[in-house]
């Protein structure tokens, strides 16, 4: 039985959490964002430089929890599709990581 990555109720709303998972056989940093009962995941790699987005562990959102924010140059990304709407990588996307939700449990798809 595969263990879930997390449970929705364990994330703040809105909130985010960083994880390391195996994708295509490679250990990869990702993060999960919760908004309401929806969850989204992306690779922890900014399209601007490829660096990580978090400004401290598990913190990937701006002050209002409206957008994902890169800690390095403050690019803002839409939570639901990872589109950059402001910053040096405007109109580029974060790389999504497909999830599967069963009840409250969140798994890699
Ligand atoms: S590294 Fe993310 S905005 Fe520059």
pLDDT digits (tens, 9 = 90+) for 61-107: 999 999 999 999 999 999 999 999 999 999 999 999 999 999 999 99
DSSP state of 87: S
pLDDT digits (tens, 9 = 90+) for 26-49: 999 999 999 999 999 999 999 999
Bridge partners, residue 96, by sequence: 42
C-alpha distance from residue 15 to each of 10, 69, 90 (Å) = 9, 12, 23
pLDDT at residue number 25: 94
Confirm or reject: Cβ of 75 under 6 Å from ligand 1.
yes
- How many C-alpha atoms does 19 have within 13 Å on its Cβ side? 20
Confirm or reject: Cβ of 84 under 6 Å from ligand 1.
no
SS3 assignment, position 35: strand
pLDDT at residue number 2: 84
Centre of ligand 1 from the C-alpha of residue 60, in Å: 12
Give a yes or no: residue 88 inside a domain.
yes
Give a yes or no: residue 59 inside a domain.
yes
Give a yes or no: residue 1 inside a domain.
no
Report the alpha-carbon distance of residue 109 to residue 95 in Å, rounded: 15
Confirm or reject: Cβ of 97 under 6 Å from ligand 1.
no
Domain with residue 69: its CATH number is 2.102.10.10
Tracing tokens 């939700």 back to the chain, one arrives at 101
Give residue 36's domain range.
6-108
pLDDT at residue number 1: 67
Tracing tokens 């990581």 back to the chain, one arrives at 97
How many domains in the chain? Answer: 1
Confirm or reject: Cβ of 51 under 6 Å from ligand 1.
yes
* pTM across the whole model: 0.96
DSSP state of 25: T
């Amino acid at each position: 039985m595969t263990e879930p990555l997390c449970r929705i109720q364990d994330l703040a709303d809105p909130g985010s959490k960083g994880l390391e998972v195996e994708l295509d056989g490679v250990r990869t940093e990702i993060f999960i964002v919760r908004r309401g009962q929806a969850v989204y995941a992306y690779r922890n790699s900014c399209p601007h430089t490829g660096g990580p987005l978090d400004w401290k562990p598990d913190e990937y959102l701006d002050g209002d929890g409206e957008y994902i924010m890169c800690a390095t140059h403050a690019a803002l990304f839409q939570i639901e599709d990872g589109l950059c709407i402001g910053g040096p990588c405007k109109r580029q996307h974060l790389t999504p990581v497909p999830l599967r939700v069963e009840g409250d449990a969140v798994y890699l798809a």
